[in-house]
Amino acid sequence: MADWINDPQGREEIEKVTKELKLPVWKANHKGKFRDFWNELWDKIEDYILKLKGDTEKNSKGLNDRLVSAVGKHDGDFPIANAVVGNVYYSELTKKYYKCKVGGPAPMPNGNFIDMSILENLNRLENLSSSGSKKIELNILNSSHSYAYRIGDICILNIDSGGAFIGKKADDILFKLPSNLLPKTRTIATLGSFVPSLSREIVVYIEPNGNCILKSQNLTCQTAYYGNISYIVQN
């Protein structure tokens, strides 16, 4: 049943209001025979809203508990006054967890953090070094990290652009691959944005000459981008 309180506005014609939604019940001399009807109606509406609110809070807590369990820890939420390397922080904006790589203040996720949803893939890439693959640094200026693994004729790029792409526009060259990593054919890929509110994901073409070209139209890069790109290399 709903909880009832005195009208916070102090209206003379109102006998009481529901606690949650402030739904009013008029005094008998103001609404006559409709008074009981309104009383029952508001009671049902208030009960429904309270149940809905309770279920939502319960589900939200359960989801958060499952997310924390999946990532292993939760050290705080963005914005962060002083992030600590190795700690994990949650962004309400992106609904994702991020692991800190470089400490310091952070109002939102940036190149100093790694999206936990891709961390497992990064770890798998690191493990390739023990299976006969060759790690090759791409040395993209101002990137947080940029390297490739070549296994036979297969190449896997791993990019965290940091500030390398900021200011780039459609048809600009983002970086150029070394001669031993040139793709056999044009490779089309997307790179995710670390801060979706500043920029959407971007589409890139990696041409057989090694140029990685930004193809997203009506966009200027304003944040860091990340992703893995796989392709067959030239013989």
205 forms beta bridges with: 188, 213
DSSP 165-193: TTT-BTT-EEEE--GGG-BSS-EEEEEEE
**pLDDT, tens digit (0-9, with 9 covering 90-100), for 152-194:** 788 889 899 999 999 999 999 999 999 999 999 999 998 888 8
**What count of other Cβ atoms lies within 10 Å of the Cβ of residue 101?**
15
Q: What are the phi and psi torsion angles at 216 (to 5°)? A: -65, 130
Mean pLDDT (whole number) for 34-60:
60
Angle at 138 between CA 162 and CA 157, to 5 degrees: 80
Q: pLDDT per residue over 98-122, tens digit each?
A: 888 888 998 888 878 887 766 555 5
Q: Which helix (H) or strand (E) holds 85?
A: none
Strands (E), the chain: 4-5, 14-18, 24-26, 80-83, 88-91, 96-100, 104-106, 113-115, 134-137, 145-151, 154-160, 173-176, 187-193, 202-206, 211-214, 225-232
User: What percent of the chain is predicted at pLDDT more than 90?
Assistant: 26
**What band does 198 get if pLDDT is binned at 50, 70 and 90?**
confident
Q: What is the pTM of this model?
A: 0.49
Q: What are phi and psi of 96, to 5 degrees?
A: -135, 160
Looking at every residue in the chain, the average pLDDT score rounds to: 79
On whether the CB atoms of residues 162 and 102 are closer than 8 A, the answer is no
DSSP state at residue 233 = B
User: By C-alpha distance, which of 235, 218, 230 is closest to 180?
Assistant: 235
CB 202, CB 214: distance < 8 Å = yes
67 pLDDT above the threshold of 60 = no
Query: 4 forms bridges with which residues in the sheet?
Result: 18
